[in-house]
Structure 1
Amino acid sequence: MRDLPEALATHLVQTSTTTCHAWRLTRTDGLVLGFTEHDHELEFDGTVFSAATGFRASEVESGLGLEADAADVAGAFSASAISADDLALGRYDGARVETFLVNWQNPDDHALLSTRQLGEVRTAGQAFTVELRSLAAGLDQPHGRLYGKRCDADLGDARCTKDISIAPFTMTGAIVDIVDELTLIVSGLESLAAGWFGNGRIRFSDGLLEGVSADISNHTIIADGARLALWQPLARLPESGDQLAVSAGCDKAFETCSGKFGNGLNFQGFPYLPGSDFAYGYADADTVHDGRPIVP
């Protein structure tokens, strides 16, 4: 049972009420935005909640257990609030959304109804609908380590420990040509052999895609520069001349970790883990069992 502030609880038992919903959205980069379905701007809890944004909420059914309930919030794109480009480029991915019930005649009378994360985003013209997933939805995701022959760390993270911020592991370049949403021609990478940036990552430094990252599937050398093929299409296309940083790729194999990066001691996989053929094996009279290692 939710405990409401005394003033708000007293207001809600009246025959007529003056309540509305408000949402506080906190992006992963720290930007905080406030919205309300009321027709006037509201301010409480240190946040200004903008009106006239076209925001409205759907019904939501919540259970007492750990079911991952969800709700929808619909709104209109606005240059001063949420733009279509920002949503498409993933700048709101993983954002936290707090939903409030507030007495618009006295905004200090408010209650936090739920805290959720942004889920699926659906767009239609100048409008969008955002799914709000409960925090219990995180219980559906795998957690902990997976034991396998390949490394399960991200290149350059605290577990990998390899510093890839310097050349030749990270190089800067510029867009020469955009073949399509999956293929870019980049200058500044010609000194490195083809394949060096395969399975790597690009991060745009300026332009419309500033701060956006994309994973590289293949790296080849052509007359105009380096040709980078991406795993997934870009939601928006960059422009020629846009600057970007390109990080070397790792296929998570022990040979790559030790040979390409000289980081074999910090390899976070199990290269000599016996495979399924060994697990299904059994002792028999024809096999020599002399205690030698089962792996080289």
Structure 2
Amino acid sequence: MRELPEGLAASLAGGVTTLARCWRITRRDGAVIALTEHDEDLTVDGTLFRAAAGVSGSEDAAAQGFAVGGGEMAAALTSELIDDADLDAGRYDGAGIELILADWSAPASFLLLRRAHLGEVRRSEGSFTAELRGLSSALNVVRGRLFTAGCDADLGDGRCRIALAAPAFAGHGTVGAAEAPGLIVAEGLGAYAAGWFTQGRLVVTSGAAAGFATEVKAHSVSASAVRLELWQRPPAVLAPGDGFTVTAGCDKSFATCRDRFANTLNFRGFPHMPGNDAVLRVATPGRP
């Protein structure tokens, strides 16, 4: 059973309550953004919670067993607290959230209701709504080895051992033109064959979107230009001259590991493991 602080318990037992919910968001880079639904700023648990974003929350759902509980929070997008560019750049992906119930007339009385992680974020006309996923959501993450035909290592990690910084696997270029928010004409990649960077990773190194990283959806080469199509649109339009680094892609098949990277000794899949076709196969006269 959860124990309430004496001051908060007395406030709840009274005829009129002076309660406000507060959300403390801790990004993975360590930045802390604190918001409250109260109409004035509150200092709770040593943190200043700002009222400027007009934050509100849904019911806080709990679930039995290992089901994922949670709720939602909504707030305005403001350049001072949470802006569009930070969301687009992924700075809030996986952020930790603490939901606190405080007595705004005596902020020293508060109760930590829930810890959660930021899930799906929806935006519309200057505001956003964020899903709060309970800590049990971590149980849905695959851990350990996967026994599949494809490799379960990440290209360049300690199990794969490919040195992605090598010139053969890392290209440094500049933006020649942005034909669409997620489609650029790349300069400086003429030495690489078409598809070399498909499923690779692009990191912007200069310009308004510096630091932005995303996967490459497609790498095409034509007589006139080299184009990179990105899975995620940058938080700012990529301008001619913006620099980037892009690394080779891998579809995790044995053939790609062998032919592109000459790394068969470190392949972490099971290419000869029977699949569903072997399980569903029926006996046929004259065939083994």
TM-score bracket for this pair, using the shorter chain length: 0.7 to 0.9
Partner of residue 253, structure 1? 253
Aligned-residue identity in percent: 40
Cα separation, 2, equivalents of 1:29 and 1:274 = 43
Question: Do structure 1's residue 263 and structure 2's residue 257 form an aligned pair?
Answer: no
Measured against aligned partners, the alpha-carbon deviations of 1:94-138 in whole angstroms (never above 9, x if no partner) come to 111110011223323221101112222222212222221222334
Matched residue SS, 1:4: coil
* Counterparts in 2 of 1:187 and 1:23: CA distance versus 1, 3 Å: same
* Counterparts in 2 of 1:282 and 1:72: CA distance versus 1, 3 Å: closer
Q: Which aligned pairs between 1:7-22 and structure 2 lie closer than 5 A?
A: 7-22=7-22
Cα separation, 2, equivalents of 1:61 and 1:275 = 40
* Counterparts in 2 of 1:43 and 1:207: CA distance versus 1, 3 Å: farther
Cα separation, 2, equivalents of 1:39 and 1:109 = 18
The Cα shift of 1:32 comes to: 1.3
Amino acid of the residue matched to residue 41 of structure 2? E
Partner of residue 52, structure 2? 52
Cα separation, 1, equivalents of 2:253 and 2:157 = 16
Cα separation, 1, equivalents of 2:163 and 2:138 = 31
TM-score, scaled relative to structure 1: 0.86
Partner of residue 124, structure 1? 124
* Counterparts in 2 of 1:25 and 1:287: CA distance versus 1, 3 Å: same
The Cα shift of 1:277 comes to: 3.9
Partner of residue 101, structure 1? 101
Matched residue SS, 1:10: helix
The Cα shift of 1:63 comes to: 3.7
* Counterparts in 2 of 1:64 and 1:2: CA distance versus 1, 3 Å: farther
Partner of residue 192, structure 2? 192
Question: Do structure 1's residue 82 and structure 2's residue 82 form an aligned pair?
Answer: yes
Measured against aligned partners, the alpha-carbon deviations of 1:260-286 in whole angstroms (never above 9, x if no partner) come to 223211111012223444444578995
Moved more, 115-124 or 216-225: 216-225
Measured against aligned partners, the alpha-carbon deviations of 1:39-92 in whole angstroms (never above 9, x if no partner) come to 332223342212222112222332443332332212111111001222233321
Amino acid of the residue matched to residue 42 of structure 1? L
Cα separation, 2, equivalents of 1:88 and 1:115 = 24
In the alignment, structure 2 segments of 5+ residues that lack a partner are none
Q: Which aligned pairs between 1:22-61 and structure 2 lie closer than 5 A?
A: 22-61=22-61
Moved more, 186-195 or 4-13: 4-13
The answer to whether the 8 Å contact 2:73/2:130 transfers is yes
Moved more, 166-175 or 74-83: 166-175
* Counterparts in 2 of 1:35 and 1:199: CA distance versus 1, 3 Å: same
In the alignment, structure 1 segments of 5+ residues that lack a partner are 289-296
Matched residue SS, 2:85: helix
Amino acid of the residue matched to residue 100 of structure 1? I
TM-score, scaled relative to structure 2: 0.88
Cα separation, 1, equivalents of 2:223 and 2:287 = 57
Q: Which aligned pairs between 1:229-244 and structure 2 lie closer than 5 A?
A: 229-231=229-231, 233-234=233-234, 236-244=236-244
Partner of residue 70, structure 1? 70
* Counterparts in 2 of 1:196 and 1:78: CA distance versus 1, 3 Å: same
Measured against aligned partners, the alpha-carbon deviations of 1:151-189 in whole angstroms (never above 9, x if no partner) come to 121111232122212322122211111111342111121
Matched residue SS, 1:128: strand
Q: Which aligned pairs between 1:122-161 and structure 2 lie closer than 5 A?
A: 122-161=122-161
Cα separation, 2, equivalents of 1:161 and 1:107 = 52
Matched residue SS, 1:9: helix
The Cα shift of 1:224 comes to: 5.8
The Cα shift of 1:209 comes to: 2.6
The answer to whether the 8 Å contact 2:153/2:268 transfers is yes
Amino acid of the residue matched to residue 113 of structure 1? L
Superposition RMSD in Å: 2.5
